[in-house]
Structure 1
Amino acid sequence: MSLTRRTLGLAGLSGLGLAACAPRPAANGRTIFNAVDVHPADYPTVTAVKWMGDELGRLTDGRLGVRQFPAGQLGNEDDSIGLTRFQAVDICRVAVAALNNAFPETRLLALPYVYRSVAHVRAVVDGAIGTELLNVFEGRGLVGLAYYDAAPRCFYNVRHPVSEPGQMRGLKMRAPQSDIFLDSIRAMGANPTPLTFGAVFSSLQTHLIDGAENNWPSYQSSRQFEVARFWSQTEHSFSPDALLMSKASLERLSAADQDLVRDVARRSVPVMRALWDEREARARATVIAAGTQVSEVDKAAFAATVRPVLDKYLAEPRLRALHERIAAVA
């Protein structure tokens, strides 16, 4: 993963705005971690990181804490990764799709129709496989703290109902900047258009794109349902989010404090999941009440279209072995 000029600029600006490029104990002995997220302040991922900061403060009598910059205040998810790697901020929450190209092992979390359900992906990330997939970041300046829920992901568009792959043909669909998502959308018959999450609403309005794919809470909180009213329950991806920390920021702490940060991050996962389950149900009810038309789909037909995509990525022996282990998780 290389630094872009935009990321370098944001690193400089954020370094000035945050007064330091990494947490250092202040004169009063406090260390405050700066955390970024593209989602709004009331989103489950942001709220879970706030809980994490409150818990760190409680356990250390205020010596450790978290200051948040939600709603994309410091750029998009690619920016967030670069800022965290190079210590302009300390913690970021990003979709796994944003990590797939730089960290190939994470592709097993994003490939289409690999997981059977939310329970399946939770069991994977909570177990030995999840631990392995948190450890892949440390060679490039990051530490994996936890995986948060962000699924299932489904398609929605401004044109017409979609219940089978043939109805995707010709639609310009936003894709995260991940080769897996680009390949998958293309295999389903649509024309993938890579865009940042923040650009989707205006692109739907102006018909630069016809649709996108995401989860119920993101579809609702971004107000994309106001322009793209046809939802298709494809559940093609159960890709989670990753909570990452600057390796340098973590290693500045004592060994005991490092263990504490990791432990509190792990314990923020059930907090996030409870918030997520409630938010997902509420978001779904909200957008349906506002006029969203939901179509059930032929999932077997959609899964068949992306089988060549799976075969392409699983040709790599390491990913195939991981895939077999994931399939075996109860």
Structure 2
Amino acid sequence: MNNKKVLALGLSALMLGSVLAGCGKSDSKPEAKAEAPKYTFRLAETHPADYPTTLGDKKFADLVAERSNGRIKINVFHSAQLGEEKSVIEQVQMGSIEFTRVSSSPLAEFNKAFGVFSLPYIFDSEAHEWKFLESDYAKQMLTNLEKSKFIGLAYYDSGSRSFYTKNKVTGPADLKGMKIRVQQNKINMDLIQALGASATPMPYGEVFSGLQTGVIDGAENNAPSYLTANHFQAVKYYVLDAHQRVPEVLMASKATWDKLSAEDRKLIQQAATDSIKFQREAWNKFDKEALDKLKTQGVTVTEVKDVKPWQAAVKPVIDKYNADFKTELEAIAKARN
């Protein structure tokens, strides 16, 4: 091999070595960090757009959007646009709807412990109820919903439930023989029967026509629901017996939750927790306004000054289910102290 070829080969080897060395330099630019995924979710709500639970839903959605810089959007579908509560619960369980706000009463069909909220007169007051809902026991109830493929995020306020009927009611004896709509829950049916009335399970969306046509003689709910569902147009008597305090539950589908990063789960959970105060304030304001408006619409509102006859009438229901909800009732009693 002549000297020129040796020189050329040497230069080539030197250049190749330089290139390879350059590829391994520690100051090379790192790859761009992967962008966090964007999501658009749906939240199903039974009540109208201006209802306190819907306002709570929207506050929750706004906080999620704000804290994720618009990366996670939750669109609230109010007025049962995505279906009635029982149907929605099933869809959330399957993962076809991502979020919902529902009454804890129908949840009992999916998680037995939530049936305790349907028992009459277990809470002395709003303060007693919320002391329990903020307890570790009640928070664990939300966590346990995961066994049914739900993620319990927060409790919302729904006040107390009372009867509205076609005829005036001043005491439990006046309900005897009436057909009363109840939520689709065995305890509620037993409650109505203990009062001498006939329990008629019916989806919420059918109650107005049921009242109008006489299929049912009455129903029971809080003042905001009685007003916004226009049930007052069909029956004009409202007795404030406050037989139940049934909280609402904001929850997500476990199928959706499992797809999220730990950071996004934390963000969503904190937004749900932070929306509670707003929802409770909205509830208290609307509850007072609703009762005043019902009176201006010709509704006869009867105050119950002595609740003892009502408690005595429904005691058999407490006795029947006491063993089933022993630990829950003990935790509720503890919150009373």
Q: Using structure 1 for the length normalisation, give the TM-score.
A: 0.89
Structure 1: which amino acid aligns with 2:333?
A
Q: Which residue of 2 aligns with 1:30?
A: 38
Structure 1: which amino acid aligns with 2:133?
V
Size of the alignment, in residue pairs?
Answer: 301
Q: Is the 1:150–1:240 Cα contact (8 Å) retained in structure 2?
A: yes
Instruction: Report 1:67-78 matches (<5 A).
Output: 67-78=75-86
1:272-328 Cα distance to aligned partner (Å, 9 max, x none) = 001001110111111111111011234111111111111111123xx2122022112
Structure 2: which amino acid aligns with 1:123?
K
Q: Is the 2:181–2:207 Cα contact (8 Å) retained in structure 1?
A: yes
Q: Which residue of 1 aligns with 2:56?
A: 48
Q: Distance in 2 between matches of 1:328 and 1:228?
A: 39
Q: Return the offset for 1:136.
A: 2.2
Q: Distance in 2 between matches of 1:139 and 1:29?
A: 27
1:195-216 Cα distance to aligned partner (Å, 9 max, x none) = 0111100100000000000001
Q: Which residue of 1 aligns with 2:334?
A: 328
1:108-149 Cα distance to aligned partner (Å, 9 max, x none) = 222111000111111111111211211221012111011111
Q: Distance in 1 between matches of 2:109 and 2:254?
A: 20
Q: Is the 1:251–1:258 Cα contact (8 Å) retained in structure 2?
A: no
The DSSP-based 3-state class of the residue aligned with 1:329 is helix
| Residue among 116, 121, 140 paired with 2:129 | 121
Q: Distance in 1 between matches of 2:41 and 2:125?
A: 34
1:313 aligns with 2:293: no
Q: Using structure 2 for the length normalisation, give the TM-score.
A: 0.87
Structure 2: which amino acid aligns with 1:256?
E
Higher-Rg member (1/2): 2
Instruction: Report 1:175-324 matches (<5 A).
Output: 175-297=182-304, 298-316=306-324, 319-324=325-330
Q: Tell me, which stretches of 5 or more residues in structure 1 are unaligned?
A: 1-26
Structure 1: which amino acid aligns with 2:259?
R
Q: Is the 1:101–1:179 Cα contact (8 Å) retained in structure 2?
A: no
Structure 2: which amino acid aligns with 1:322?
E
1:4-48 Cα distance to aligned partner (Å, 9 max, x none) = xxxxxxxxxxxxxxxxxxxxxxx9942122100110111111111
Q: Is the 2:240–2:303 Cα contact (8 Å) retained in structure 1?
A: yes
Q: Is the 2:132–2:331 Cα contact (8 Å) retained in structure 1?
A: no
CA RMSD of superposed structures (Å)? 1.3
1:209-230 Cα distance to aligned partner (Å, 9 max, x none) = 0000000100000010111110
Q: Return the offset for 1:180.
A: 0.9
Identical-pair percentage: 34
Q: Which residue of 2 aligns with 1:143?
A: 151
Q: Distance in 2 between matches of 1:165 and 1:193?
A: 17
